[in-house]
Amino acid sequence: MTRAFIVEADGGSRGNPGPAAYGAVVKDAANGAVLAELAGHIGLATNNVAEYRGALAGLAHAHELDPKAAVEIRLDSKLIVEQMSGRWKIKHPDMRELALQVRAIFPPGQVTYTWVPRSSNAHADSLVNEVLDQVEGGGSPLIARTFASGLLVQDATDVIGDAEEAFAHSAAARSERARNRMVGWEEMDTPTTAVLVRHGATQFSLEKRFSGHGGADPGLAPIGEAQARAAAHELASRLQFDLVVSSPLLRTRQTAAILAGQLADDLVIMDELAECAFGEWDGLTFAEVQSKWPDELRQWLDSVDHAPPGGESFTQVHARVARARQELISSYPGRNILVVSHVSPIKLLVALTIDAPVESVYRMELRPCSISTTTWYPDGNNSLYGFAESSHLRGVDTFPGV
């Protein structure tokens, strides 16, 4: 039986244009259960841009849950509903680009667009204002809360009551932002320590080719295997690890196997830690992409919301990496975890740790088998202990950026 979701999306700007944010709620269409609350601050933008971003975030999460699902997306913007339904033309170039991104998430025919009055979109609207207030107070520019699916539905009254109760609990919880604390100075609970290791070099790495999930999936080059052994030797002197968590791609699994052989007994695969999908650019060099897709490459470099043709945007990757991080914190509290992943997910895990914007991915570099160390505390505080360390790679290092 085909699964079905409802996405309630909204966006708003305080100034139009002004400080803007989107909000999205993903629900199980069968019983009304809230599966996710998503919101993000997007800097200075218009209401329409923020509305499109809400649709993009909600649909991207629904696709992560089930790419074959039927989705009804509900918005209080008649403009976007009519544009996305194909009844109104999209004249503004920024809107056209966002519309293309929204349409690219699901195949044609799986998504329907429904206009609802503003009063019926209060949940998504509240997320917009929550994240705007959060940023004004110095807090995180992202909200990504997921909930267990499958509320037991007995009748329509129970559905409404359960959904309202879940929303009330989540609203109360999100009103209590963790206060800042001086990590290392104060008495604090035991954190989850996540040591983040990029995989060893592949032939694609050495040739500086785009290589994401859904592409060729190359294995480690001989120098990549040597880098993994060097990282294992270095980490053996630092911590005792409870488990190794790896992206599902071949190069990370091979790196993780080398590390786990010396450092931990358990190896867990987590799909959300896969590299960004680069779509039609996969396997090509930067110069080849620049020659064939100059405009698209410029847009990708200019905006974390722009995806390569057939690929993912950094905003979409950020959402799934945030879910992975929360799952690790919930599943392994107080444990030492070795996470083997890729450039983009590791950068985004670091950004989440220090409350940096998604755009910070453009300001970080990670060499193969470099080591970054983070701690995530139960009260919501985090700390970054080391970033992109590579002194252990002397003799097996490659040039920067590969």
Catalytic residues: 199, 275
Please report, for residues 146, 212, 235, 284, 287, the alpha-carbon distance to residue 290 in angstroms, rounded to integers and kept in the order given: 38, 18, 38, 10, 5
Four-residue CA torsion sign, 82, 87, 92, 95: positive
The size of the chain, in residues, is: 402
Four-residue CA torsion sign, 78, 81, 82, 83: positive
Helices (H) and strands (E) in the chain, counts: 12, 12
Radius of gyration over every alpha carbon of the chain, rounded to an integer in angstroms: 21
Return d(Cα 330, Cα 325) in angstroms, integer.
Answer: 9
What's the first-to-final CA gap in the chain, in angstroms? Answer: 44
Q: Is 112 helix (H, G, I), strand (E, B) or coil?
A: strand
**The token pair that represents 235 in the structure block:** 């980490």
**The token pair that represents 236 in the structure block:** 């053996």
Return d(Cα 258, Cα 254) in angstroms, integer.
Answer: 7
Would you call the peptide bond into 248 cis, given omega within 30 degrees of 0 as the criterion? no
